[in-house]
Chain A
C-alpha cells in the first residue's frame, strides 16, 4: 500500500510543485491571496475562487483524460457544453422540473459522446476529424435550440447548481471534486483503467487479447460527453442563461492543455485523472493570478502561454533524460576508472 502511495506521490509531484510555485508567485504580487473567510455558511477567498472558476475545465479534463488515454482527442466538448446549456435552459423555461431538465441535459451530452464514439470506433475515423464535426456543427445546433437568442431563466434550483454552496464550498467545486473522485475510483478500482491504457497503447494487440476495444472507445467518448454536459449546466447556471455563441468557447483547448500539463501523453496510454485535475487548477491559477496581479490584459495570453511552455519543456522526455543523464554523470564519475585492456 505504501508502495502505491509512493508511486502516486512521484507521479503527481511535478503538477503539485508547479501549482505550488504558481500560487506562491501570485501571492507575492497579491498579498491577500491565501486569505480565506467564512460568511453565510460558505468559504470565500481567492483560492476558493480558483476552485470555483476552474470547474468547467476540470470537468472537461476528466473526460478528456480518458479519451486521450485511448489515443483519441475530443474537440467537441466546448460545443457540447453549449448544446447542453441550451437544452437545460430550454427545458427549464418550458416549465419542466429540475430533475427532468438535468436528466435530459445529461442524456444529450452522453448522446453527443455516443455520436463521436461511433465515428471513431465503428467507422474508424481519426478522432481529431470525427470530433471536429460536432465542434463545428454543435454551436449551430445550440443556436437552433435557443433560437438565436440568449435564453435566460431564473429557476432557483438550476441557479443553485451554478452559485449555491454545500458543506461550505460552492456547488461547482463539489461537483467536479465528487465527479472526479467517482471516475478515478471507477477506473482504478476496476480493470477499466488498465484496459483503457492497453487500447491507447496498442489497439490491435488489445483486440487480439480479447479487450472490447470498440465498447471501451465509445464509452470513453460518452464519458467525455457526460462531463461536457455537467460543465455546460454549471456554465449556464452561472450566468442564468444559455449563450450558444460563447458558452464553453475554446474550453476544449484548455481541457486538452490541462491533460497535457497533467502529464498524460497525447499518444495515449498511461493516464492520471488526479494529475489532469491538478493541471486544470494550474491553468485556472494562471488565469486568476494574472488577473489579480493587475497585469495589463493584453499580456494575459502571452504570460499564460509562456508559463505553459515552461511546464511542458520541463516535462518533455528530452529534458527528463537530460536530468537523468546529469544526475547519473555526477553519480558515476568518481567511481568509473579507465578500464584499460
Chain B
C-alpha cells in the first residue's frame, strides 16, 4: 500500500445521483504521480460522471477529493484548471464560433497594455499545435475543422493547462493511428514530468500500450483497481462486463469473402468539386464495403455525397438499373438510404428530445408529418431497439443528451435501423462503444447484411474494417486511390495502401 501522499489525486466514496439513476455509488479512485491510469467500463458505467465530479463539472452528492493530500472542492472546470487539473471532456466543448487560437487561450489570452495581443496569441497557438504536427490556420473559426482536429485542439489546450493532473475522456475516439501515436508521445512526456494522467477509452490495445494501472467501473460501482501488467485482457473484459465475452471483434479473421453478387448500387464518376473527386463505386446487395484513409482524406465527404447531405455535381447513381434521386438527405432516405454521421453531438442527436423520439425520428420524417407513428408503435420500436442494442437508459422518455456517449451512439444507430434501410452508410459507427456492445452491434449488422442490406462503413479502426468488409476503398487527398478485395483485405495492406499513396505526395 502506497502512502497517501504519493497520490496526486485521491477520491473516496464519490456518490452521484441523477433523477432516476444512481450514476456513482461510493467510488474510490486514486492517481499516483507519473502514472497513466486507465478508467474503464461499459457504456453508462459512470466513467464520464466520475471525472466530471472530480473537476466540479457536476456537484457530487458525497465523497472526498484530495489533491496533493489536501481537500479540494472545485465548483467548475475553471476552478479545477486553477488547481492544475486539465480536462478533455468526451464531447468536445470548445466554442465553435471562436478562432482556433482563441479557443486555445480562452480565459488566459496574452495581453498587451490590457488588450488581447492577438499576434502573440496566434504565434503561441501555432507553436503549441506544431507539437501535434497540426499545421492549420489558427485564425480560422473552429467550426471549419473536423471533429478530429477539434479533438486535437482540445487536447492541446488541456495539456497546456494541466499542472498536476490531465484527464482525457475518450480522446482517441476520432483519431487515427498516426495521431494516437502522437498523443501518446506527449502523454509519456508529461508522465516523465510527474503528472498524473487519467485516460478513458474503449480501445483495449491503447490501454495496454500506455497505462500503468486500470480502474474498472460497472453500473456506477468500483469493480477494482489493478496493475495493467498483471491483468490479462480476458480478465479485464470480464471485470468490465461482469461476464466472459465469447469473441472480440478485433480477433475475428477477415470473413471468408462471400462471392459478391451482381452489383446492385452503381455510382459512376460520382463527385463534387472541392469536396471529393469523382469516383466509381459498385455495391452488391448484402455486401459490406469499408472506407479507409487518414483524417481529411475525404472519407466523410464520400459519405456525405452518397447520402445527399452534399449534392453531387457530377456522375450518376443507380440501383437495379434505376436512377436514384440523391439530391438531399430526404430524397436519399426515400430511396431507402441511411447515414449514421460521425459527429454525433452536432449531426446526430436531437438532445432535448427523448430516446424514443430520437429513435423514431427518421422513420417519422420519411412517413411525413400527416401520418404519425402511433404512440404504442413508437414505444414498441423504442423498446425493441433499447433491448436489441442494449441502450442503457432509465427509461425511453429520458432526454437523449442525458445518456452516456456510447449509449447516444447506439440510439442514433437505432434511428437508422428502424427505417429498414437498403443502403446504410456508417461513419465511425462504433466510436465510443464498449467491447461488449461492439460485438453485439457487429453481429446485428452482419445479420442485416445477410438479409440483403448493403453497407458502407467508414472507420479508423482497421481491424474492424478487415473483420467485416469484403472490400476496402482507400482514400487520400479527397480522392479514391486504391481498392482492396478478397485476400488483399488485411490491416497491413490497408496501412501500406495509405502509406504508399502518401509517398507520392510532395512533403
Closest Cβ neighbor of B28 among chain A residues? A341
B373 within 8 A of A: yes
Complex CA gap A197/B356 in Å reads 14
Complex interface: chain B residues within 8 A of A332 (CB): 17, 61
- List residues of chain A with CB within 8 A of the CB of B364: 191, 194-195
Chain A, range 167-223, C-beta contacts under 8 Å to B:
189-192, 194-195, 197-198, 201-202, 204-212
C-alpha spacing A52/B353, complex, angstroms = 35
A195, A197, A201: which has the most chain B beta carbons within 10 Å? A201
Q: Is the CB of A341 within 8 A of B372?
A: no
Chain B's closest residue to A197 (CB) is B353
Q: How far is the CB of A66 from chain B (nearest CB, A)?
A: 13
Please state if B333 and A210 are interface contacts (CB–CB under 8 Å).
yes
Decide if B349 touches A202 in the complex (CB within 8 Å).
Answer: yes
Q: Does B62 lie within 8 Å of A336, measured CB to CB?
A: yes
Q: How many residues of B contact A (CB 8 A)?
A: 39
Residue contact B26 to A205, C-beta cutoff 8 Å: no
Q: Are A205 and B349 in contact (CB under 8 A)?
A: yes
Judge whether A341 and B352 touch: CB under 8 Å: no
**At the interface, yes or no: A324 with Cβ under 8 Å from chain B?**
yes
Q: Which residues of A contact B415 (CB under 8 A)?
A: 209
Which of A195, A207, A211 has the most C-beta atoms of chain B within 10 angstroms of its own C-beta?
A: A211
Overall SS of chain A's interface: helix
Q: Is the CB of A198 within 8 A of B361?
A: yes
- B23 CB, min distance to chain A CBs, angstroms: 14
Whether B365 and A210, one on each chain, are in contact in the complex, defined by CB atoms closer than 8 angstroms, is yes
A269: Cβ under 8 A from any B Cβ: yes
- CB contacts under 8 Å to A, within B334-389, are 334, 339, 341, 346-353, 357, 361-362, 364-373
Question: Which bracket fits the contact residues of A?
Answer: 20 to 34
Given contacts A210-B333, A212-B330, A336-B62, contact A201 B369 (CB under 8 A): no
Given A210-B329, A211-B365: A201 and B353 interface contact (C-beta under 8 Å): yes
User: A240: CB under 8 A from chain B?
Assistant: no
Q: Is B146 an interface residue (CB 8 A)?
A: no
A211: B residues at CB distance < 8 A? 330, 361, 365
Q: Is B309 an interface residue when CB atoms closer than 8 A count as contact?
A: yes
Contacts of A336 in B (CB 8 A): 62
Q: Is the CB of B26 within 8 A of A339?
A: yes
B17, B329, B334, B352: the one contacting A208 at CB < 8 Å is B329
The closest CB in chain B to the CB of A324 belongs to B19
- Write the A326-341 contact mask toward B (1 if CB under 8 angstroms, else 0): 0010001000100101
Shortest Cβ distance from residue B163 to the other chain A in the assembled complex, whole angstroms: 28
Q: Is the CB of B347 within 8 A of A204?
A: yes
* In the complex, residue of chain A having the shortest beta-carbon distance to the beta carbon of B356: A194
B13 CB–A CB distance under 8 Å:
yes
Minimal Cβ-Cβ distance residue in B for A321: B59
CB-nearest residue of chain B to A7: B397
Interface assignment of A270: CB less than 8 Å from any CB of chain B: yes
Residues of B within 8 A of A212 (CB): 330, 365
Instruction: Annotate B321-339 by CB proximity to A: 1 below 8 A, 0 otherwise.
Output: 0000000011011100001
Shortest Cβ gap from A278 to chain B (Å) = 21
Q: Are A269 and B352 in contact (CB under 8 A)?
A: yes
In the docked arrangement, what's the CA distance between A206 and B309, Å?
Answer: 12
Name the distance in Å between A290's Cβ and chain B's nearest Cβ: 36
Q: Tell me whether B12 is interfacial, beta carbon within 8 Å.
A: yes
Q: Mark A44-85, 1 if CB is under 8 A from B, else 0.
A: 000000000000000000000000000000000000000000
* One of A189, A202, A210, A324 near B350 (C-beta < 8 A): A202
User: How far apart are A319's CB and chain B's nearest CB, in angstroms?
Assistant: 16
- State how many angstroms separate the Cβ of A214 from the closest Cβ of chain B: 10
Q: CA of A195 to CA of B346 in the docked complex: distance in angstroms?
A: 17
A183 to chain B, nearest CB (A): 14
Q: Closest residue of chain A to B351, judged by CB?
A: A201
Question: Given the interface contacts A198-B353, A269-B352, A270-B352, does A208 sit within 8 Å of B347 by beta carbon?
Answer: yes
Which residue of the partner chain, among A194, A202, A209, contacts B362 with CB atoms under 8 Å? A209
Contact partner, B346, options A190, A192, A205, A341, Cβ 8 Å: A205
Cα A201 to Cα B364 with chains together (Å): 17
Binding site for A on B (CB under 8 A): 12-13, 17, 19, 26, 28, 61-62, 307, 309, 329-330, 332-334, 339, 341, 346-353, 357, 361-362, 364-373, 415
Question: Contacts A206-B350, A208-B339, A339-B26 given; 14 further ones with Cβ under 8 A?
Answer: A191-B369, A191-B372, A194-B361, A201-B353, A202-B346, A204-B346, A205-B347, A208-B309, A209-B333, A209-B350, A210-B334, A269-B353, A324-B19, A341-B28
Enumerate 13 A-B pairs (CB-CB under 8 Å) in ascending A order: A190-B369, A194-B364, A201-B352, A207-B330, A208-B307, A208-B348, A209-B333, A209-B362, A210-B330, A210-B333, A210-B366, A324-B19, A339-B26
Closest CB pairs A-B (n = 7): A210-B365, A210-B333, A191-B372, A209-B362, A269-B352, A211-B365, A191-B369
Name A residues whose Cβ lies closer than 8 Å to a Cβ of B: 189-192, 194-195, 197-198, 201-202, 204-212, 269-270, 324, 328, 332, 336, 339, 341
